[in-house]
Structure formats: structure tokens, C-alpha cells
């Protein structure tokens, strides 16, 4: 993580923090209020996705125009 810029480190911290927050809230809700398993699975999936996004913080700083330039129009 030492080779990342400050803004990329910030994105990693936000993604991982939100991930653990969602996972903790999902488990707390499941254990305390006896919500169904579907909510737990959804919150676990979202938290895993956010955590994995933290591994590629440069994706948030790719210009949208260059990212969409590789998509070819069918017309």
C-alpha cells in the first residue's frame, strides 16, 4: 500500500471501512432481530464486493471517456 497515492489510500480505507460496517450490521441484525437469511447473504455479498473493490483503487480514477472508448457501438 506504500506505492499508492493519498487519494487511492483514502478510497481503500473507505471501501474496507464500508465493507466491515455493512458486514457487522448484517450480522448484528441477523443475530439480534432474527431477520431472514436472505438479508444476511445480501449484506455479505455487498461487503465482499466492496472489500474486493478496495484492491483496485485506480479504477475510481480512470476517466469515463477513455473507459467508454473501448466499447464499440453496434451502429
Q: For 24-43, what is each residue's pLDDT tens digit?
A: 999 998 888 877 888 889 99
pLDDT over 90 (residue 59): no
Q: Is residue 74 part of a domain?
A: no
pTM: 0.75
Q: Which residue range forms the structural domain that includes residue 36?
A: 6-68
Set of cell numbers at residue 28: 448484528
Residue 72 phi, psi dihedral angles, 5° rounding = -95, 135
Q: Is residue 1 part of a domain?
A: no
CA pair distance 32, 44, nearest whole angstrom: 16
Per the structure, the count of domains in the chain is 1
| 48-58 tens-digit pLDDT | 999 999 898 88
Q: What is the average per-residue pLDDT within 7-28?
A: 92
Place of cell 487511492: 8
With a CB cutoff of 8 Å and minimum separation 6, the contacts of 29 are: 35, 39, 40, 43
Question: Can you give the pLDDT at residue 48?
Answer: 95
**Is 17:55 a contact under the CB 8 Å cutoff?**
no
By three-state DSSP, how is residue 63 classified?
Answer: coil
Q: Is residue 75 part of a domain?
A: no
Amino acid at each position: 500500500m506504500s506505492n499508492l497515492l493519498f487519494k487511492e489510500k483514502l478510497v481503500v480505507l473507505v471501501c474496507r471501512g464500508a465493507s466491515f460496517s455493512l458486514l457487522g450490521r448484517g450480522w448484528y441484525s441477523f443475530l439480534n432481530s432474527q431477520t431472514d437469511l436472505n438479508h444476511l447473504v445480501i449484506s455479505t455479498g455487498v461487503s465482499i464486493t466492496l472489500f474486493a473493490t478496495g484492491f483496485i483503487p485506480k479504477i475510481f480514477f480512470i476517466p469515463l471517456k477513455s473507459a467508454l472508448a473501448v466499447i464499440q457501438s453496434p451502429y
